A = this chain, B = another copy of it.
């Protein structure tokens, strides 16, 4: 049966639709957005609701995502092997570098943040675990682009968004940058996504040298950079953390 199960694919599309639009959606909106008959959409929504993946506002009748997704998302993190092994190294890196640390994996056309260590001694920050970062303008993303053919393939899907004046939006530029990244073994992104923010990232690979994710530090450009370049000492810290995590992953099995 080499075909996806129709009702499941449709249910997934509905959930993604609900996740995308910021506000709640009505039954008819869902049905027309996906080109389904109302009855069909209702059947799927009813089941999703019953399972806790979708909730319905009892008075407006509109639908939104449900709590079970949060619970399952947490379970995903609990089982995540890369994340589990990286926890302590990420902590160390944050302390040594004095900056925010992110751990990300390739997911669809972006990098999914699976771990986030706050910058030590900093004021209030919001946890970004579960959020996505663009591939072509962040240290995490560029590392994956350079080493993971799948990630590079995702880039052909659509035009590249420019976030700041320093964002690379031409595929040729990106490929050149990737070659450089592979050569020196690390990536940086200086104000390519957010003004004032610079980041340095390095690859994490499993024992078979497959790319499985990336670590990066991220912080104010004034602290991370010096004379327009990222500080070599921070690069060394990130690379050593990435190596440590990779080694840990390799040892973990058998």
Residues of A within 8 A of B (CB): 1, 4-5, 7-9, 11-12, 15-16, 18-20, 22-24, 39, 42-44, 46-48, 50-53, 64-79, 91, 105, 107-108, 112, 114, 124, 127, 129-132
B73 contacts A74, C-beta separation under 8 Å? yes
B129 contacts A70, C-beta separation under 8 Å? yes
**Among B9, B19, B79, B91, contact of A51 (Cβ-Cβ < 8 Å):** B9
A74 contacts B43, C-beta separation under 8 Å? no
Known interface pairs A7-B8, A131-B74; A1-B43 also in contact (CB < 8 Å) = yes
Q: How far is the CA of A66 from the CA of B130 in the complex (A)?
A: 12
**Among B43, B71, B112, contact of A130 (Cβ-Cβ < 8 Å):** B71
Most buried by B among A7, A39, A43, A65: A65
A-B pairs with lowest CB-CB distance, top 6: A73-B73, A74-B130, A19-B75, A12-B51, A65-B76, A70-B73
**Which label, helix, strand, loop or mixed, suits the secondary structure of the A interface?**
helix
Copies in the complex: 2
Task: Identify 9 new A-B residue pairs, CB closer than 8 A, beyond the known A5-B43, A20-B75, A74-B130.
Answer: A5-B44, A8-B44, A12-B68, A19-B75, A67-B76, A67-B112, A67-B114, A69-B73, A70-B112
Q: How far is the CA of A127 from the CA of B77 in the complex (A)?
A: 12
Smallest CB–CB gap between A210 and chain B, Å? 9
A79 contacts B9, C-beta separation under 8 Å? no
Q: Chain B residues near A79 (CB, 8 Å)?
A: 18, 22-24, 64-65
**Among B8, B39, B65, B105, contact of A72 (Cβ-Cβ < 8 Å):** B65
Q: How far is the CA of A164 from the CA of B24 in the complex (A)?
A: 42
The chain B residue sitting closest to A24, CB to CB, is B79
Q: How far is the CA of A128 from the CA of B9 in the complex (A)?
A: 31
The chain B residue sitting closest to A48, CB to CB, is B8
**Among B4, B7, B114, contact of A5 (Cβ-Cβ < 8 Å):** B7
Q: Chain B residues near A127 (CB, 8 Å)?
A: 127, 129
Q: How far is the CA of A132 from the CA of B69 in the complex (A)?
A: 13
Q: How far is the CA of A130 from the CA of B97 in the complex (A)?
A: 29
